[in-house]
Amino acid sequence: MRRITAALNKEGVKIGKYRVRHLMREEKLKAIEPKTFVPKTTDSKGFAPAPDLLKDIKTENCAARKIIIGDITYIALQNGSWRYLAMWQDKVTRRIIGWSLSDSMTAGLVISALQKAIGKGLVAAVAIIHSDRGSQYASNGFRELLQKEGLRQSMSGKGNCYDNAQAGSFFSRFKTELIEGGAFENLEQALSEIFSYIEGYYNRVRLHSGLGYKSPLEFEAELKIKNGGKIESFLSI
């Protein structure tokens, strides 16, 4: 109710959340709610895990583009096959800064998604790149990319994935709002719909309670104004 109320108020419609609730009941409308998110973690057996650099860091003391969190989820197609979606998200602004879709859950999937974010200039120097302990993130190829770019790797502690829950929460909402329990017709439709959701809706339009009911790009714009045009300089980690 709060998100709908905030969106209507931004459009110039002066209305309160109780009035919104009443009107939705009259029209027999019900908000789509994501399933309760229960974080899960994986363990990169055979690889030395990176330390958990987020353990003692509070988000309010972080700078945009300096903590990037990532995760992978599966995407169902109507023919019964699966595709895998990897994404990287700015922990402070909630913006999805890089994503990639593939038919296999390999190191190349997470590398491709991160390279897109780096190529767009959305990852600051010496940023923390945080994930769970999946083997994709512990691979030589992924770690070589981090070393080449001067980035710091961080992994959730063993059996404790709540410091990466934000990434998993995004996928929970993504599946609830876009897929609604269904499946994409084919890979082309999946790519098109995912692009529209992330780049056209989630980053630009969707209001986030944690951002004061602003979209990620709107929140970024405010940070730039506050900090003389440099989004990542308002606080340091």
179-182 long-range Cβ contacts below 8 angstroms, 24+ apart: 179/75, 179/76, 180/32, 182/76
Which CATH class name applies to 59-233? alpha beta
Q: Give the separation between CA 161 and CA 148, rounded to whole angstroms.
A: 27
The pLDDT of residue 235: 43
- Count CB-CB contacts under 10 A for residue 147: 11
Q: Give the separation between CA 92 and CA 61, rounded to whole angstroms.
A: 10
Pairing of β 128-131 and β 152-155:
parallel
Going from N- to C-terminal start, the domains of the chain cover: 1-31, 59-233
Q: Average pLDDT across each block of 10 residues of the chain; the chain has 237 residues. List them in order.
A: 55 54 54 47 71 85 91 94 97 97 96 98 96 95 98 86 80 90 91 96 94 95 84 53
Contact present, 76 and 98 (Cβ < 8 Å): no
Contact present, 85 and 72 (Cβ < 8 Å): yes
The pLDDT of residue 113: 98
The pLDDT of residue 17: 44
Which of 62, 68, 76 has the alpha carbon at shortest distance from 170? 68
Q: Given phi > 0 = left and psi -120 to 50 = alpha, else beta, which region is 172?
A: alpha
